[in-house]
């Protein structure tokens, strides 16, 4: 009995636990994240556009096929994807969505659903919506979603009209809609070579294109030799070609595959096609080489009906024929990719590629000269899907840029009509690895040498041209050493070029130019190591030689013959011209006295010294001139190709005299100078006879003026005048008087002439006075620490205690006093000082500088002032006063009152901690003031130091504060703080607490039964909980949880029953709960009045009036109250429920044992 009862109780408990476990998850609180349409800036989108599994071709013409658009959305790491986020793909107006649909989108593993694709014909869009945010949250990179949907030509697109179609994520295509064939019968077959594996052909059969009514329809497809069926046969029915509608599938039961080359189809099972057409799709594998002439694969089908028969001949154009149909078995795959090399001809075996199998094994292959890479055939023994990777090996050849992409290939091995068929599909249909080769450019500098014979070479004297095909590339000139250097030539490709170097013909006189033209051939070759190399032929020892020779010069040397006393006759006197001791020429005088030697020619530069002398004769009464006159000829090259002869001392005079004994006299004068001491040769005088100047003379230091002696060869009277020549001596007033002197020459009768002088030695008086002079005294002002401004500082110039002048500085620092004038010689001493100012931040120069000015008479009529120590420098220094910036922050604590010094903060400049500070009670955080001594900009960061205060969530943000220190120009640095006083917010939340309210139930005069009495716990008038007593009188209410501080007043009362023999306790017992925060992250309760005693009294009914009491349940069980709906969501609720269940279990077990 006990076992049965216990078993029932156990099963009841299990049922209750099951209910709890089912509904407990619903108690969890979920976070609602707002989904949104993602902006285009948050992702990149690329679209692969195809038709019938072939990439769209710009400029192509297409019929009524299906276009496949495959957009891939790629998201950067910082973008967080949420469930419900979506992207809308807007289909170009020239296409329309084929049908409305909703499709799950998978992750690259092909298993995990990550998004949903919804196509809408109404608005012509495809919407991709994120459905698995958790998947993307675990990705740090390569967050991508790829969708695929079909579109067809829009109804508005006209036939045979080119349209510019901008496909989002792809490019702008020029496409034309056409009718590919007339298809008059409505029965057509065509094929397309598979882009992933060219060994396969995708065949399409369109039956009853115009949806006519036929009966007895049967299709007999004969696959020719060289092909074999390689896929399941599928298809669908349509009522109107290209109409978006529900399309029933072709049932497999209506297909009869005879063998790999024959199958039949009976549409709808009975061959009836009433108002419907049929579109059939299947794939064949090429098993024999194809005809490279036609480049087509053929495949026929025969359609028979009760009405007529159609023989349909289909073909598939083959874009790839190399290696096709090599005889590989159906369960084998030959992986083939292409290699493209830009910038260089591809060579066989140049690059290595790896095929990585699912198990990690690697097979290598190399390219051929056409760029084909073929891996050894892989045989597949098992059905399934196998993923391979193909990548290129980067062997770091110089000059090459390698393609680092990884091509994914998926092999599907399936059982097709009893035959194992392996097919491969590449993720990138191009299957191409593109490398580029670019050799570094080559440089070559051509040089030549310039030689000039006959003259020193000058820099830049001659010009040279570098030409290619008659075009001048560069023109340069020689340097002083003869070096000719053209600018570097740059070569960017392999080539052979021929250059010509010539000298430009000039017009420099005397120069014979080099006419040579040197041809230089430059061959540029790629060294195969990524470098072009330029090799020049004919570029060695290129010399241009010019010759300089000046034309000869000529000179004619002459002399003059004078004979005093009688008339001169021709050829009377002979003269010799000598160079050294060598007689160069002789000549005789002409009647007019000219003596001309023969012309002398000079062929080179040089100096020549000649002497001319008269050969001694014996003519009576003649005194011969015995003088030797020197004549110099300097022959020079004028640099313009001509020698020039310059004659000095030419045409000397040889005088012979025929006469009696002469006489002579000396005329003199006296010079007086008032005002200064007379100097010798200072003044010049003229002695004239009539208008003819007979002689000139200058004064001696003692004032005597003596003209040269005048000889007289014959008697006569001579009247002379003496005058002083006007001069330009400064300060001198000249004597302008003219004095007359008379000389009477007579013959004394004794063979001698005599001269008598009258009025000789007159006096000439001049007066001297020097002109005044002036001096400008200057100073220089220097200001260290900032730019000098004009007029900013004032200076005094004093002589003794007298202020001579004041001046201010110019912007360039010059200080110029007004000019001082001096009228006489003397010495002057001045002092210059700067007047003290009050400019903020400036330290003034207090130095006094002495300047001396010496004024002297220069003896040339002018006073001259010489300043010593002029232009002294006064240096002031500007330094702005330091400034201080105080950086602050604000501390906010949500959840409780902030205490002073509770949180600590760091101020950093770079990685260096500048200061720390704690908060005040009002939340202010003030770092120690920072002093700045110079202008500049400082960037600081403020962060709060992490603490461990219970219940507090710390603010982890870092705030930037910028301090810009500037000089205000008034002697003060000023600090401007930007982004100061950021706020750091911490949140304080104390952990919740709970109280279990209890009471004590007493029933006097009768044994208390479990659950006999019911009690209510109220707050105000609201019943919070109900409970019943246990057998021992304990009354326990469910725990009440408190999440915030506060005070609560409850009452515990007993619900009055209807037992007339019991006097119920009708008191209301008050219980108060004070919930406080202990400041350490925990709420604490103080309960007053809990566990009151509630006493009922039982009175036995009177025996004279017996009444039948309520029958006791033979099991001793009492009705149980419903469990309250807690609405909780945390573990505390679960613990309470579990506790109550366990308590109930204990009570039930106890009761069962008691009853038994």
pLDDT digits (tens, 9 = 90+) for 959-991: 999 999 999 988 899 999 999 999 999 999 988
Query: Cα separation of 409 and 392, whole Å?
Result: 14
Residues in the chain: 1156
Whether 171 and 196 share a structural domain: no
Average pLDDT over residues 717-730: 92
Whether 186 and 311 share a structural domain: yes
Q: What is the pLDDT of residue 936?
A: 93
Name the residue among 685, 719, 680 with its Cα closest to residue 703. Answer: 680
Average pLDDT over residues 1109-1132: 36
**pLDDT of 11 over the 60 cut:** no
**pLDDT of 1113 over the 70 cut:** no
Q: Are strands 732-733 and 716-724 parallel, antiparallel or unpaired?
A: unpaired
More confident call, 1124 vs 1033 = 1033
Kindly state the tokens that stand for 591: 């009647």
**pLDDT of 995 over the 90 cut:** yes
More confident call, 442 vs 1112 = 442
Q: What is the pLDDT of residue 177?
A: 87
Instruction: Tell me the pLDDT of the chain averaged across its residues.
Output: 88
What pTM was computed for the model? 0.34
Average pLDDT over residues 1120-1144: 40
Query: Cα separation of 788 and 886, whole Å?
Result: 32
Q: Are strands 1093-1098 and 998-1004 parallel, antiparallel or unpaired?
A: parallel
Average pLDDT over residues 654-683: 88
- In-domain check, residue 557: yes
| CB burial readout 355-388, b (16+ within 10 A) else e | bbeeeeeeeebebbeebbbbbeebebeeeeebeb
- The CATH number covering residue 468 comes to 2.60.40.3050
- The CATH number covering residue 289 comes to 2.60.40.740
Q: What is the pLDDT of residue 52?
A: 63
Whether 867 and 892 share a structural domain: no
The 10s digit of each residue's pLDDT in 341-363 is 998 889 999 999 999 999 999 99
Q: What is the pLDDT of residue 1127?
A: 36
**Percent with pLDDT over 90 in the chain:** 67
Query: Cα separation of 363 and 375, whole Å?
Result: 7
CA distances from 695 to 361, 646, 714 (A): 127, 31, 19
Q: Would you place residue 182 in the very low, low, confident or very high pLDDT band (cuts 50, 70, 90)?
A: low
Phi, psi (deg, nearest 5) at residue 6: -65, -40
CA distances from 700 to 614, 695, 769 (A): 38, 16, 21
- What's the domain range around 558? 553-658
Strand partners, 695: 687
CB 70 within 8 A of CB 48: yes
Kindly state the tokens that stand for 666: 């000396």
Phi, psi (deg, nearest 5) at residue 631: -125, 130
- In-domain check, residue 225: yes
- In-domain check, residue 1010: yes
The 10s digit of each residue's pLDDT in 400-430 is 999 999 999 999 998 888 788 888 888 887 7
| CB burial readout 114-137, b (16+ within 10 A) else e | bbbbbbeeeebebbbbbbbbebbe
Whether 142 and 161 share a structural domain: yes
Average pLDDT over residues 175-195: 79
- The CATH number covering residue 141 comes to 2.60.40.1280
Average pLDDT over residues 368-394: 93
The 10s digit of each residue's pLDDT in 421-459 is 888 888 887 789 999 998 899 999 999 999 999 888 999
- Among 1047, 1069, 1098, identify where a domain stops: 1098
- In-domain check, residue 291: yes
Phi, psi (deg, nearest 5) at residue 1145: -60, -45
**pLDDT of 245 over the 70 cut:** yes
Whether 392 and 414 share a structural domain: yes
Whether 1003 and 1076 share a structural domain: yes
* Complete DSSP assignment for 449-515: EEEEETS---TT-SEEEEEETTEEEEEEE--TT-EEEPPPEEE-SSEEEEEEEEEPP---TTEE---
Enumerate residues 6+ apart whose C-beta is below 8 A from 14. none
- In-domain check, residue 337: yes
**pLDDT of 21 over the 60 cut:** no
Neighbouring C-alpha atoms within 13 Å toward the C-beta of 468: 8
- Among 725, 740, 766, identify where a domain stops: 766
Average pLDDT over residues 1005-1028: 94
Q: Does residue 1069 come out as left (phi exceeding 0), alpha (psi in the -120 to 50 range) or beta?
A: beta
- Among 828, 854, 878, identify where a domain stops: 878
**Percent with pLDDT over 70 in the chain:** 90
Whether 310 and 203 share a structural domain: yes
**pLDDT of 1 over the 60 cut:** no
Whether 205 and 301 share a structural domain: yes
Phi, psi (deg, nearest 5) at residue 268: 60, 10
- In-domain check, residue 12: no
CB 372 within 8 A of CB 323: yes
Q: Would you place residue 658 in the very low, low, confident or very high pLDDT band (cuts 50, 70, 90)?
A: low
Phi, psi (deg, nearest 5) at residue 138: -90, 0
Q: What is the pLDDT of residue 1119?
A: 32
CA distances from 677 to 674, 728, 737, 764 (A): 8, 17, 21, 15
| CB burial readout 412-443, b (16+ within 10 A) else e | bbeebbebbbbbbbbbbeebebbbebbbeebe
Q: Which helix (H) or strand (E) holds 929?
A: none
DSSP-based helix, strand, coil % in the chain, nearest 5: 5, 50, 45
Strands (E), 101-153: 101-106, 113-120, 125-130, 143-146, 149-153
Phi, psi (deg, nearest 5) at residue 933: -105, -10
Q: What is the pLDDT of residue 331?
A: 82
The 10s digit of each residue's pLDDT in 1077-1105 is 888 889 999 999 999 999 999 998 876 54
Query: Cα separation of 929 and 883, whole Å?
Result: 10
Query: Cα separation of 964 and 974, whole Å?
Result: 8
The dihedral over CA atoms of 256, 257, 263, 269, expressed in degrees to the nearest 10, equals: 10
Whether 229 and 122 share a structural domain: no
The 10s digit of each residue's pLDDT in 497-531 is 999 999 998 888 888 899 999 999 999 999 988 89
Neighbours of 458 (CB within 10 A): 13
Q: What is the pLDDT of residue 432?
A: 92
Could you tell me the end-to-end alpha-carbon distance of the chain, in angstroms, rounded to an integer?
7
Query: Cα separation of 1058 and 1056, whole Å?
Result: 7
The 10s digit of each residue's pLDDT in 874-921 is 999 999 899 999 999 999 999 888 999 999 999 999 999 999 999 999
The 10s digit of each residue's pLDDT in 131-162 is 999 898 888 677 899 999 999 999 899 988 99
Average pLDDT over residues 308-312: 92
Compute CA 268 distance to the chain's CA centroid, rounded to the nearest angstrom. Answer: 68
Query: Cα separation of 866 and 774, whole Å?
Result: 10
Whether 49 and 132 share a structural domain: yes
CB 782 within 8 A of CB 873: yes
- In-domain check, residue 321: no
More confident call, 19 vs 548 = 548
**pLDDT of 249 over the 50 cut:** yes
Query: Cα separation of 953 and 292, whole Å?
Result: 77
Q: Does residue 294 come out as left (phi exceeding 0), alpha (psi in the -120 to 50 range) or beta?
A: alpha
Query: Cα separation of 410 and 196, whole Å?
Result: 10
Q: What is the pLDDT of residue 17?
A: 46
- In-domain check, residue 1104: no
Enumerate residues 6+ apart whose C-beta is below 8 A from 1111. none
Whether 785 and 843 share a structural domain: yes
Task: Say how many domains are in the chain.
Answer: 9
**pLDDT of 650 over the 50 cut:** yes
Whether 154 and 95 share a structural domain: yes
Q: What is the pLDDT of residue 411?
A: 93
Q: What is the pLDDT of residue 34?
A: 54
């Amino acid at each position: 009995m006990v076992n049965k009862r216990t078993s029932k109780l156990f099963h009841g408990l299990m049922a209750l636990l099951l209910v709890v476990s089912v509904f407990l998850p619903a108690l969890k609180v979920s976070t609602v994240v707002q989904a949104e349409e993602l902006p285009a800036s948050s992702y990149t989108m690329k679209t692969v556009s195809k038709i019938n599994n072939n990439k769209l071709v710009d400029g192509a013409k297409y019929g009524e096929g299906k276009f496949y658009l495959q957009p891939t959305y790629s998201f950067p790491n910082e973008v967080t994807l949420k469930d419900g986020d979506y992207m809308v793909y807007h289909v170009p107006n020239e296409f329309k969505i084929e049908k409305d649909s909703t499709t799950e989108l998978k992750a690259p593993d092909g298993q995990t659903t990550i998004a949903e694709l919804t196509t809408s014909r109404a608005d012509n869009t495809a919407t991709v919506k994120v459905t698995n945010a958790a998947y993307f949250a675990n990705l740090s990179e390569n967050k991508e979603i790829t969708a695929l949907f079909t579109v067809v030509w829009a109804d508005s697109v006209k036939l045979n009209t080119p349209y510019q179609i901008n496909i989002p994520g792809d490019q702008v295509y020029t496409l034309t809609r056409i009718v590919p064939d007339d298809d008059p019968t409505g029965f057509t077959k065509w094929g397309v070579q598979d882009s992933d594996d060219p060994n396969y052909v995708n065949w399409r059969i369109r039956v009853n294109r115009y949806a006519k009514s036929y009966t007895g329809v049967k299709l007999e497809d004969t696959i020719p030799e060289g092909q074999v069926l390689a896929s399941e046969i599928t298809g669908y029915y349509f009522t109107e070609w290209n109409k978006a509608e529900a399309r029933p599938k072709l049932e497999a039961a209506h297909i009869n595959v005879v063998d790999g080359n024959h199958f039949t189809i009976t549409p709808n099972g009975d061959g009836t096609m009433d108002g419907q057409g049929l579109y059939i799709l299947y794939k064949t594998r090429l098993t024999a080489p194809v005809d490279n002439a036609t480049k087509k694969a053929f495949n026929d089908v025969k359609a028979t009906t009760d009405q007529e028969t159609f023989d349909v001949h289909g073909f598939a154009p083959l874009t790839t024929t190399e290696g096709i149909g090599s005889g590989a078995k159906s369960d084998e795959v030959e992986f083939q990719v292409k290699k493209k090399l830009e910038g260089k001809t591809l060579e066989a075996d140049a690059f290595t590629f790896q095929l990585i199998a699912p198990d990690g094994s690697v097979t290598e292959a190399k390219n051929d000269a056409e760029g084909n890479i073929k891996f050894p055939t892989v045989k597949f023994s098992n059905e399934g899907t196998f993923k391979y990777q193909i990548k290129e090996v980067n062997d770091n050849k110089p000059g090459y840029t390698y393609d680092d992409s990884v091509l994914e290939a998926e092999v599907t091995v399936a059982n097709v009509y009893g035959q194992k068929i392996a097919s491969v599909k590449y993720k990138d249909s191009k299957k191409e690895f593109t490398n580029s080769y670019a050799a570094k450019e080559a440089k070559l500098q051509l040089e030549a040498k310039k030689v000039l014979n006959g003259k020193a070479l000058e820099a830049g004297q001659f010009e040279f041209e570098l030409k290619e095909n008659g075009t001048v590339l560069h023109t340069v000139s020689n340097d002083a050493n003869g070096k000719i250097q053209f600018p570097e030539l740059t070569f960017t490709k392999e080539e052979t070029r021929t250059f010509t170097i010539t000298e430009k013909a000039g017009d420099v006189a005397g120069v014979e130019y080099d006419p040579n033209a040197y041809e230089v051939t430059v061959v540029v070759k790629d060294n195969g190591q990524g470098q072009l190399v330029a090799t020049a032929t004919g570029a060695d020892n290129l010399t241009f030689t010019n010759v300089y020779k000046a034309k000869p010069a000529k000179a004619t040397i002459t002399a003059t013959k004078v004979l005093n006393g009688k008339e001169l006759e021709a050829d009377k006197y002979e003269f010799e011209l000598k160079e050294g001791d060598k007689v160069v020429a002789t000549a005789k005088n002409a009647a007019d006295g000219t003596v001309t030697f023969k012309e002398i020619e000079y062929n080179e530069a040089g100096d020549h010294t000649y002497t001319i002398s008269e050969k001694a004769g014996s003519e009576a009464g003649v005194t011969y001139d015995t003088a030797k006159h020197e004549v110099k000829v300097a022959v020079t090259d004028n640099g313009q190709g001509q020698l020039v002869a310059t004659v000095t001392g030419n045409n000397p005079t040889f005088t012979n005299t025929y006469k009696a004994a002469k006489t002579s006299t000396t005329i003199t004068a006296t010079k007086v100078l008032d005002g200064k001491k007379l100097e010798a040769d200072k003044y010049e005088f003229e002695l004239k006879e009539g208008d003819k100047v007979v002689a000139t003379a200058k004064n001696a230091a003692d004032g005597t003026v003596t003209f040269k002696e005048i000889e007289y060869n014959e008697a006569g009277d001579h009247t002379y005048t003496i005058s002083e020549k006007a001069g330009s001596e400064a300060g001198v007033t000249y004597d302008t008087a003219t004095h007359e002197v008379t000389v009477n020459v007579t013959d004394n009768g004794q063979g001698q002439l005599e001269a008598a002088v009258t009025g000789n030695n007159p006096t000439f008086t001049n007066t001297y006075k020097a002109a005044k002079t002036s001096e400008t005294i200057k100073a220089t002002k220097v200001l260290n620490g900032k730019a000098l401004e004009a007029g900013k500082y004032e200076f005094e110039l004093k002589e003794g205690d007298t202020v001579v002048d004041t001046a201010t500085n110019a912007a360039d620092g010059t200080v110029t006093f007004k000019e001082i004038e001096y009228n006489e010689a003397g010495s002057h001493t001045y002092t210059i000082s700067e007047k003290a100012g009050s400019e903020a931040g400036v330290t003034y120069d207090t130095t006094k500088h002495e300047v001396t000015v010496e004024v002297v008479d220069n003896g040339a009529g002018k006073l001259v002032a010489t300043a010593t120590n002029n232009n002294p420098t006064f240096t002031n220094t500007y330094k702005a006063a330091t400034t201080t910036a105080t950086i602050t922050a604000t501390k906010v604590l949500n959840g409780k009152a902030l205490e002073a010094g509770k949180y600590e903060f760091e101020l950093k400049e770079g990685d260096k901690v500048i200061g720390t500070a704690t908060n005040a009670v009002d939340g202010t955080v003030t770092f120690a003031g920072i002093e700045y001594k110079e202008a500049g900009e400082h960037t600081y960061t403020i962060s709060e130091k992490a603490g461990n205060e219970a219940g507090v969530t710390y603010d982890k943000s870092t705030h930037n504060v910028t301090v810009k220190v500037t000089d205000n120009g008034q002697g003060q640095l000023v600090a401007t703080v930007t982004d100061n006083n950021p706020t750091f917010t911490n949140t304080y939340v104390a952990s919740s607490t709970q109280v279990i309210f209890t009471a004590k139930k007493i029933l006097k005069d009768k044994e208390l039964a479990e659950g006999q009495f019911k009690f209510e716990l109220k707050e105000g008038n609201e019943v919070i909980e109900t409970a019943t007593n246990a057998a021992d009188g304990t009354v326990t209410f469910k725990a009440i949880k408190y999440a915030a501080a506060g005070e609560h007043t409850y009452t515990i009362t007993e619900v009055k029953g209807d037992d007339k023999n019991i006097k119920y306790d009708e008191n209301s017992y008050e219980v108060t709960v004070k919930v406080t925060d202990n400041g350490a992250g925990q709420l604490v309760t103080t309960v007053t009045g809990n566990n009151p005693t509630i006493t009922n009294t039982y009175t036995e009914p009177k025996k004279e009036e017996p009444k039948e009491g309520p029958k006791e349940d033979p099991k001793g069980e009492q009705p149980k109250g419903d469990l309250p709906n807690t609405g909780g969501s945390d573990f505390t609720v679960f613990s309470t429920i579990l506790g109550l269940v366990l308590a109930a279990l204990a009570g039930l077990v106890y009761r069962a044992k008691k009853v038994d």
